[in-house]
Amino acid sequence: MSEELSQRLTVYLRGKLAAPDLSVHDLSRIPGGASRETYRLRASFTKDGAAIERKLILRRDPPASLIETERSVEFRAYQAFHALGFPVPEPIALETESAALERPFFIMSEIEDAQAVSVLAPDPYGAHRESVGRAFWSILGRIAAADPKELGLADFDGAKAVEACWSHEVARWEKVIEEDELEPQPIARAALRWLKRHPPPPAQKIALVHGDYRSGNFLIDGQGRIRAILDWEMAHLGDPLEDLGWALDPLWAHHDVSRPGGMLPRADAIAVWEKASGLKADPKALLWWEIFASLKGCAIWISAAREYASGSNPDPVNAFSGWYCLAFHNMILADRLGSRA
């Protein structure tokens, strides 16, 4: 399989990079979530007489995906934010057709000497947690501050009016639950009703929402510098508080809920975000988006469980999500909403 994929990649990249002597080597699959197959590869070729080696990452659609997402969304987000100097990989090529590698894919540069932490690891940032935290919440604030029109992403899916952000997202994830639940979900259903009965205030602006901004979805180097924000496949237009609520979710807290994402204390994290974004994190609105985040988590894990149970994507990450993550978010929602009943 790897040999065939390597040959296909060679043919593709020779044309794409206008390098007829290009060869692909060291192709290997690496962990990268269940929504895309992720591979590391090296492409060697000569240009103007000079030997060049490019270290690349291939992200290819699996036979079935955890959440149906357009790979062009992630690629375009990389393009837009790379151009602005944000820490993201350089996007190289996007193919939405299946001819070249059997399934759609995109290729980007590899970020060397950096890695993502496991969301299960306790205290993964160690001595760097304060500096990583300031960078993490600041970058999120800068994403919130960016103008989708200036980014060239104003046509992304999502709400077009500030009043509609919350209802657009609730409808989106309610549909996922409707379509994918393997068994009735009384806590998720109660959360959906609560979210509809207690809508948040209109968004302060329509922002580009990353959609999965959290600990574990960025690369850091040995000095604790954030080198790349990853996994933009759920990017959409919406309320910037949506990303903040998701990043604050206890599932990503590395077993210390006082430090969201395992980094800064909560109040400091919010203060950094407010300063970088120029926006306010109104506590009542933020509470709504935090409860929404846990509901959205439930929907994703319900979808993962279906993928695994149906056999369409037997990646063990899907079984783990349907088992551990869903139970976790059910507990969070039951605690948060139960205490308000």
Which residue number, 242 or 290, has a Cβ lying nearer to other proteins?
290
- What phi, psi does 24 have (nearest 5°)? -105, 135
* Interface region with other proteins, contact rule CB under 8 A, candidates 13-21, 179-187, 246-254, 296-304: 179-187
Cα dihedral sign for 322, 326, 328, 331?
Answer: negative
- Of 20, 31, 126, 283, which lies in the binding site for other proteins, with binding defined by CB under 8 A? 31
In whole angstroms, the minimum distance from the beta carbon of 184 to other proteins comes to: 4
Tell which positions 273-312 bind other proteins, by CB under 8 A. none
- Of 217, 277, 303, 330, which lies in the binding site for other proteins, with binding defined by CB under 8 A? 330
Tell which phi-psi region holds residue 117, choosing left (phi > 0), alpha (psi between -120 and 50) or beta: beta
Tell which positions 99-128 bind other proteins, by CB under 8 A. 120
Cβ burial, residue 202 (10 Å; 0-12/13-18/19+): middle
If one asks whether residue 69 binds other proteins (CB under 8 A), the answer comes out as no
CB of 190 within 8 A of CB of 330?
A: no
Going from the C-alpha of 196 to that of each of 166, 168, 187, 190, 260, the distances in angstroms are: 9, 11, 14, 10, 26
Which residue number, 247 or 317, has a Cβ lying nearer to other proteins?
317
If one asks whether residue 84 binds other proteins (CB under 8 A), the answer comes out as no
If one asks whether residue 258 binds other proteins (CB under 8 A), the answer comes out as no
In whole angstroms, the minimum distance from the beta carbon of 234 to other proteins comes to: 22
The continuous run of DSSP H or E covering 109 comes out as strand 105-109
Which residue number, 81 or 218, has a Cβ lying nearer to other proteins?
218
CB atoms within 10 A of CB 292: 24
Which residue number, 204 or 303, has a Cβ lying nearer to other proteins?
303
Count residues near other proteins (CB under 8 A).
31
In whole angstroms, the minimum distance from the beta carbon of 323 to other proteins comes to: 6
Q: Is 156 helix (H, G, I), strand (E, B) or coil?
A: coil
Q: What CA–CA distance (Å, rounded) separates 65 from 87?
A: 26
- Of 5, 170, 203, 337, which lies in the binding site for other proteins, with binding defined by CB under 8 A? 337
Going from the C-alpha of 314 to that of each of 64, 66, 231, 319, the distances in angstroms are: 9, 10, 21, 8
Q: What CA–CA distance (Å, rounded) separates 120 from 129?
A: 16
Tell which positions 183-222 bind other proteins, by CB under 8 A. 183-187, 189-190, 193, 197
- Of 18, 83, 84, 327, which lies in the binding site for other proteins, with binding defined by CB under 8 A? 327
In whole angstroms, the minimum distance from the beta carbon of 190 to other proteins comes to: 6
- Of 3, 28, 48, 126, which lies in the binding site for other proteins, with binding defined by CB under 8 A? 28
Tokens representing residue 115 in the block: 């890695």
- Going by the DSSP 8-state scheme, the letter that residue 217 receives in this structure is S
List residues binding other proteins (CB under 8 A). Answer: 28-31, 120, 183-187, 189-190, 193, 197, 315-317, 319-320, 323-324, 327-328, 330-331, 333-335, 337-338, 341
